[in-house]
Amino acid sequence: MTEEKQQKFTAKVRRGLVWVHTVASAELAKKKAEATGVRIEGFTASELADVESALTWISQNKEAPGSEPRSVQTWSVRTSVKRTWDRTDDGEIVSWRANMH
Protein backbone atom coordinates (compact mmCIF):
# COMPACT_ATOMS: atom_id res chain seq x y z
CA MET A 1 0.00 0.00 0.00
CA THR A 2 1.42 3.39 -0.93
CA GLU A 3 1.93 6.06 1.73
CA GLU A 4 -0.93 8.14 0.29
CA LYS A 5 -3.34 5.18 0.35
CA GLN A 6 -2.24 4.33 3.88
CA GLN A 7 -2.93 7.90 5.02
CA LYS A 8 -6.39 7.89 3.38
CA PHE A 9 -7.20 4.55 5.00
CA THR A 10 -5.99 5.77 8.40
CA ALA A 11 -8.15 8.90 8.06
CA LYS A 12 -11.21 6.76 7.28
CA VAL A 13 -10.53 4.57 10.30
CA ARG A 14 -10.14 7.58 12.58
CA ARG A 15 -13.42 9.07 11.31
CA GLY A 16 -15.10 5.72 11.92
CA LEU A 17 -13.71 5.62 15.45
CA VAL A 18 -15.60 8.83 16.23
CA TRP A 19 -18.88 7.02 15.54
CA VAL A 20 -17.82 3.84 17.35
CA HIS A 21 -16.76 5.83 20.42
CA THR A 22 -20.00 7.81 20.50
CA VAL A 23 -22.24 4.75 20.19
CA ALA A 24 -20.24 2.46 22.49
CA SER A 25 -19.82 5.13 25.18
CA ALA A 26 -23.54 5.87 25.16
CA GLU A 27 -24.43 2.17 25.32
CA LEU A 28 -22.02 1.53 28.19
CA ALA A 29 -23.34 4.57 30.08
CA LYS A 30 -26.89 3.26 29.57
CA LYS A 31 -25.94 -0.19 30.89
CA LYS A 32 -24.21 1.36 33.92
CA ALA A 33 -27.28 3.50 34.64
CA GLU A 34 -29.55 0.44 34.40
CA ALA A 35 -27.35 -1.64 36.72
CA THR A 36 -28.99 -2.30 40.06
CA GLY A 37 -25.74 -3.03 41.87
CA VAL A 38 -22.04 -3.03 41.31
CA ARG A 39 -22.17 -5.59 38.48
CA ILE A 40 -23.27 -4.76 34.96
CA GLU A 41 -25.42 -7.44 33.35
CA GLY A 42 -23.68 -9.26 30.53
CA PHE A 43 -20.14 -8.28 31.59
CA THR A 44 -17.56 -9.93 33.77
CA ALA A 45 -15.21 -7.56 35.59
CA SER A 46 -12.49 -8.45 33.09
CA GLU A 47 -14.72 -7.82 30.07
CA LEU A 48 -15.84 -4.47 31.48
CA ALA A 49 -12.22 -3.47 32.04
CA ASP A 50 -11.43 -4.48 28.44
CA VAL A 51 -14.32 -2.40 27.08
CA GLU A 52 -13.33 0.62 29.17
CA SER A 53 -9.70 0.27 28.02
CA ALA A 54 -10.84 0.03 24.40
CA LEU A 55 -12.95 3.18 24.79
CA THR A 56 -9.95 4.98 26.27
CA TRP A 57 -7.78 3.89 23.34
CA ILE A 58 -10.46 4.95 20.85
CA SER A 59 -10.84 8.36 22.49
CA GLN A 60 -7.10 8.89 22.15
CA ASN A 61 -6.95 7.75 18.54
CA LYS A 62 -10.19 8.98 16.96
CA GLU A 63 -10.04 11.95 14.67
CA ALA A 64 -10.74 15.22 16.44
CA PRO A 65 -12.79 17.68 14.38
CA GLY A 66 -10.46 19.74 12.20
CA SER A 67 -7.33 17.91 13.30
CA GLU A 68 -4.56 16.59 11.15
CA PRO A 69 -4.36 12.79 11.19
CA ARG A 70 -1.35 11.51 13.09
CA SER A 71 0.63 8.41 12.45
CA VAL A 72 0.77 5.80 15.22
CA GLN A 73 3.37 3.05 15.32
CA THR A 74 3.19 -0.06 17.49
CA TRP A 75 6.25 -1.34 19.35
CA SER A 76 6.41 -4.70 21.14
CA VAL A 77 8.87 -6.20 23.60
CA ARG A 78 8.67 -9.93 24.31
CA THR A 79 9.75 -11.34 27.65
CA SER A 80 7.59 -13.54 29.87
CA VAL A 81 5.12 -10.66 29.49
CA LYS A 82 4.60 -9.10 26.07
CA ARG A 83 4.48 -5.32 26.43
CA THR A 84 3.17 -3.28 23.53
CA TRP A 85 3.27 0.50 23.15
CA ASP A 86 1.57 2.64 20.53
CA ARG A 87 3.50 5.83 19.81
CA THR A 88 2.98 8.81 17.55
CA ASP A 89 5.73 10.01 15.22
CA ASP A 90 6.83 12.53 17.84
CA GLY A 91 7.31 9.76 20.42
CA GLU A 92 4.16 10.34 22.49
CA ILE A 93 2.86 7.07 23.96
CA VAL A 94 -0.88 6.95 23.26
CA SER A 95 -1.57 3.50 24.72
CA TRP A 96 0.12 0.40 26.09
CA ARG A 97 -0.84 -3.09 27.11
CA ALA A 98 0.76 -6.17 28.64
CA ASN A 99 -0.13 -9.80 27.94
CA MET A 100 1.12 -12.93 29.69
CA HIS A 101 2.40 -15.74 27.45
- pLDDT tens, residue by residue, 45-60: 889 889 899 899 888 8
Q: What is the mean pLDDT of residues 66-91?
A: 57
Quick check: 68 pLDDT over 80?
Answer: no
Q: Residue 89 and residue 94: Cα distance in Å, rounded? A: 11
Which amino acid would we find at residue 33?
A: A
Residue that wins the pLDDT comparison between 79 and 89: 89
For residue 66, pLDDT beyond 80 = no
44 versus 37: which is more confidently predicted?
44
Average pLDDT over residues 82-101: 61
pTM of the model: 0.56
Mean pLDDT score across all residues of the chain: 76
Residues with Cβ within 8 Å of 54's Cβ and at least 6 positions away in sequence, in order, are 24
